[in-house]
A and B are shown apart, each in its own frame.
Chain A
Amino acid sequence: GAGVSQTPSNKVTEKGKYVELRCDPISGHTALYWYRQSLGQGPEFLIYFQGTGAADDSGLPNDRFFAVRPEGSVSTLKIQRTERGDSAVYLCASSLSPRGALRSYNEQFFGPGTRLTVL
């Protein structure tokens, strides 16, 4: 079946502009994650959705960053007033919901990422 897809694959924008990055998770995956990977670094957590709601948004760096998942499937990461420091690869991953009372971990599947460059 289809994997996680992300659009666009590349986005170049100017400082101060608004951008939207889209993630289509694997069908049936209720959990969706956004991560950000700066050059030469490992990815860092941004936000995690369980269904339509953000279960943990503690990784969002500031209030310029916002993400939605209105129907519990596709998610959009929105960045306002972009800054050069926002340049990074934005990764999306999805998984089945945590299992059982102990919330056993389900494997996350990653999309190809969106490379954002802010000039």
Chain B
Amino acid sequence: KNEVEQSPQNLTAQEGEFITINCSYSVGISALHWLQQHPGGGIVSLFMLSSGKKKHGRLIATINIQEKHSSLHITASHPRDSAVYICAVRFNFGNEKLTFGTGTRLTIIP
């Protein structure tokens, strides 16, 4: 079965802390998205990656294809980073659809 698991499910941290959210998946993929969803809002794609590492501002995403694992890091976290972060993958043999993790609810306290 093609599965995506995220951890932790909930994360509360103080402003300024370094944040790590993890995603693991069961079989080979061709792409992995990190997505951000604010309460009542739509989904915004933060990164799409298939290998290595990407950085955008205070956000960094890494992926290890051999270990079937990806991490999303937030440096110098800020209350506006509070949102649900979702990992989604396109499995090699799952046609074009994305399979999503259940999300990590991040709360940054001022």
Closest to A95 in B: B96
Task: Output the residue of A33, A42, A104 with the most chain B CB within 10 A.
Answer: A42
C-alpha spacing A109/B48, complex, angstroms: 11
B residues near A111, Cβ cutoff 8 Å? 42
Determine if B27 is an interface residue (Cβ-Cβ < 8 Å). Answer: no
B residues near A20, Cβ cutoff 8 Å? none
Number of A-B residue pairs, CB cutoff 8 Å, is: 66
C-alpha spacing A104/B44, complex, angstroms: 21
Least Cβ distance of B21 to chain A in Å? 13
Contact status A45-B45, CB under 8 Å: no
B residues near A112, Cβ cutoff 8 Å? 41-42
Least Cβ distance of B99 to chain A in Å? 7
Contact status B100-A43, CB under 8 Å: yes
Contact status B44-A44, CB under 8 Å: no
Determine if B86 is an interface residue (Cβ-Cβ < 8 Å). Answer: yes
Given contacts A104-B30, A105-B31, A105-B90, contact A31 B96 (CB under 8 A): yes
B residues near A105, Cβ cutoff 8 Å? 30-31, 50, 90, 96
Least Cβ distance of A59 to chain B in Å? 7
Given contacts A104-B30, A105-B31, contact A44 B100 (CB under 8 A): yes
Per-residue A-contact encoding for B76-110, CB less than 8 Å = 1, 0 else: 00000000001010100001111111110000000
Least Cβ distance of B47 to chain A in Å? 10
Contact status A109-B45, CB under 8 Å: yes
Contact status A41-B102, CB under 8 Å: yes
B residues near A103, Cβ cutoff 8 Å? 96
C-alpha spacing A111/B33, complex, angstroms: 15
Within 8 A of B (CB), among A71-119: 91, 93, 95, 98, 103-105, 107-113, 115
Between A and B, 24 residue pairs with Cβ closer than 8 Å are A35-B98, A40-B102, A41-B103, A42-B4, A42-B100, A42-B103, A43-B100, A45-B97, A48-B95, A50-B96, A55-B95, A56-B96, A59-B97, A91-B43, A93-B98, A104-B30, A105-B31, A105-B50, A107-B45, A108-B98, A110-B43, A111-B42, A112-B41, A113-B43
